[in-house]
Amino acid sequence: MPALPDDTPALPLDAQGILELAARSMFQLFSSVSQGMFLVDRTGRIVWVNEGYQRFLPDLGFSSVDQFVGRTVEEVIPNTQMRRVLETGQPVLIDLLTNKAGTFVVSRIPLRDETDRVIGAIGIVLFDHPETTLQPLISKFALLQRDLDDARRELASQRSRTLVGAGLGDGQRRAKYTFASFVGSSPAAAEVKRQARRAAQSSSPVLLLGETGTGKELLAHAIHAASSRASGPFVSVNIAAVPDTLLEAEFFGVAPGAYTGADRKGRDGKFKLADGGTLFLDEIGDMPQSLQAKLLRALQEGEIEPLGSNKLVPFDVRIIAATSRDLAALVREGQFREDLFYRLHVLPVRVPPLRARRSDIPALVESLGEDLALRNSIAPPELLPDAMALLAGQPWRGNIRELRNVLEQAAMRSDSSTIDAAQLARVLREAGVEPAAPAPVEGAGSGALLGDDAGEDDARYLRPLAQQVAELERKAIAAALKAHGGNKLATARQLGISRATLYERLENPE
């Protein structure tokens, strides 16, 4: 129990007892109302877990408590930040943790003895389904954040125009996107934005990994815009789009008259253009080996040598690289330098594919539709429930880029702003993709819940989605309660919801 301040009057025995009782009561309260709780000692070793936390053990790879207790927290809980709490003594009251067991809202609180020395820490799982429990809060925050970022962009744009108009600025390249531009509030989207925001606070290289079309370049812009280098230039180069013979000049620049036909004034390379800001190297996995060594040396020494020059030019650049290829495999195959890989692989951020965040599809469709309408001076496309369900069921190998293309084709071919599943299916087939079966649209505000027999003339699919979901919930809860003899704790665990959510559903079945 924490020591009392020096100026605190001595407590009578009954008051001291009340204080100790309060401490025990609060511990018991947290243990009972939280979704799970555990304790670690000062070395970071798990010493106790409560009954609520034990339900997560199978997902973490443990069949019994005995296998879990006694091991260091990093061994058993992936992505935990508990070690930082033990080392700094500072609590982390609210954080989002994602690992094999799911996504959780957690608290981490250091425990101290009478001398104020950290003797351990307590980890508390506050919510185990934040995408459901905190959805209203997340949506409200995302809206506020988007408004704030829009205002910041407008102010920055006005300032830039003012400076250029006054002859005080050079109109240098700026980031086009912020984190609000990365649409989505699913656990996968929230986690990648959390990691990217942390990366923005550092000056170390960032490596964005993920399939093509997932939004890696957008995140690169957002990281720069949220970093201390936001006032500096953001310069990007797509390595796959530049011929190998021109890449060296593209990166390092060309000295005046370096070769026949070269500009007499010389030409600055991307490193020089990005000085004081961020250099984004897209498709770094396609860089030819002949240039990898020169790039590594430039990153290590902080200086470049323009083509045809003997003069070393210093630079100050933060590197963000991206690739859709497996860099580790390229290293093993000898196609990518291992030392360069480790130089870039400091803050890796894996961008999830669209199929891992299907609940974001309605929001993405709305955002893409608004952009489509602005660019083409048309009304935003309105997708019918069967169309939205069809989109939710596709594998989206091209991710958001493919989704944008399908949506744009359907909108341009439609005689009205309304789009149904048949129109989308035709677009997919013409692109050589056989449409997959429709899927429920998680998080959609309207529409029908489509199953394997979707498309049949069945009246149950003509009711609002909220009614159908509520009916399914009631049936699932009733069946689970019956199977567990009315035990609400066991019922909540089987259904994968919190006890508070179960009680709320029982009290308000509609």
DSSP character string of 184-237: --SHHHHHHHHHHHHHHT--S-EEEE--TTSSHHHHHHHHHHTSTTTTS-EEEE
Is the backbone of residue 213 left (phi > 0), alpha (psi -120 to 50) or beta?
left
Q: What is the pLDDT of residue 253?
A: 87
CB-based contact 222:175 (threshold 8 Å): yes
CB-based contact 82:76 (threshold 8 Å): no
Q: In the predicted model, is pLDDT for residue 372 greater than 70? A: yes
Lookup: tokens for 211:
């399939």
Comparing 454 with 388, the larger pLDDT belongs to 388
Cα gap 301→292, rounded to integer Å:
14
Q: What share of the chain is helix, strand, coil (3-state, %, to 5)?
A: 50, 15, 35
Angle of the 187-200 helix axis to the 216-225 helix axis, nearest 10: 40
Q: In the predicted model, is pLDDT for residue 317 greater than 90? A: yes
Q: In the predicted model, is pLDDT for residue 353 greater than 80? A: yes
* Residue-wise DSSP of 349-406: EEPPPGGG-GGGHHHHHHHHHHHHHHHHTSPPPEE-HHHHHHHHT---TTHHHHHHHH
* Least confident stretch, 172-181, 213-222, 310-319, 322-331: 172-181
Cα gap 431→428, rounded to integer Å:
5
Q: What are phi and psi of 93, to 5 degrees?
A: -75, -35
- Report, as an integer, the average pLDDT of 323-344: 94
Q: What is the pLDDT of residue 102?
A: 78
* CATH architecture of the domain covering 135-258+266-352: 3-Layer(aba) Sandwich (3.40)
Q: In the predicted model, is pLDDT for residue 163 greater than 70? A: no
What is the edge-to-edge ordering of all strands in the sheet holding 318-323? Answer: 234-238, 278-282, 318-323, 206-209, 347-350
CB-based contact 82:123 (threshold 8 Å): yes
Helix (H) or strand (E) run with residue 481 in it: helix 465-483
Which amino acid does the sequence have at 482? K
Q: What is the pLDDT of residue 212?
A: 94
CB-based contact 77:100 (threshold 8 Å): no
Lookup: tokens for 285:
């996995």
What is the edge-to-edge ordering of all strands in the sheet holding 46-49? Answer: 46-49, 36-41, 118-127, 102-112, 92-99
Cα gap 356→280, rounded to integer Å:
25
- For the domain covering 465-507, report its CATH number: 1.10.10
CB-based contact 488:503 (threshold 8 Å): yes
Q: CB neighbours of 98 closer than 8 A, spacing ≥ 6?
A: 79, 104, 187, 188, 191
Q: What is the pLDDT of residue 351?
A: 95
* Least confident stretch, 66-70, 83-87, 365-369, 375-379: 375-379
Q: In the predicted model, is pLDDT for residue 323 greater than 70? A: yes
pTM comes to 0.57
**Class of the 18-128 domain?**
alpha beta
Q: What is the pLDDT of residue 214?
A: 95
The radius of gyration computed from the CA coordinates of the chain, to the nearest angstrom, equals 28
Neighbours of 456 (CB within 10 A): 9
- Report, as an integer, the average pLDDT of 360-379: 88
- Report, as an integer, the average pLDDT of 175-186: 88
Dump pLDDT digits (tens) for 456-479.
334 444 445 555 566 667 777 887
* Least confident stretch, 40-44, 416-420, 425-429, 484-488: 484-488
Q: What is the pLDDT of residue 143?
A: 62
CB-based contact 363:180 (threshold 8 Å): no
Cα gap 394→358, rounded to integer Å:
9
CB-based contact 92:80 (threshold 8 Å): no
Which range among 118-132, 204-218, 368-382, 421-435 has the greatest average pLDDT?
A: 204-218
pLDDT band at 496; cut points 50, 70, 90 = low
pLDDT band at 68; cut points 50, 70, 90 = very high
Q: What is the pLDDT of residue 138?
A: 62
Lookup: tokens for 399:
């991710």
pLDDT band at 454; cut points 50, 70, 90 = very low
Q: What is the pLDDT of residue 456?
A: 39
Residue 498 carries which DSSP code? -
Cα gap 489→32, rounded to integer Å:
11
Q: In the predicted model, is pLDDT for residue 262 greater than 70? A: no
Q: Give, in order, the Cα–Cα distances in Å from 343 to each of 83, 221, 296, 312.
A: 25, 21, 8, 21
Comparing 116 with 174, the larger pLDDT belongs to 116
pLDDT band at 146; cut points 50, 70, 90 = low
**Hey, where are the domains in the chain?**
18-128, 135-258+266-352, 356-462, 465-507
- Report, as an integer, the average pLDDT of 100-128: 87
User: Is the fold of 18-128 the same as that of 465-507?
Assistant: no
Please give the share of the chain, as a percent, with pLDDT higher than 90.
Answer: 39
* CATH architecture of the domain covering 356-462: Orthogonal Bundle (1.10)
Place of tokens 């990898």: 292
Q: What is the pLDDT of residue 290?
A: 87
Residue 46 carries which DSSP code? E
Q: Give, in order, the Cα–Cα distances in Å from 140 to each of 78, 91, 143, 145, 465.
A: 29, 26, 5, 9, 22
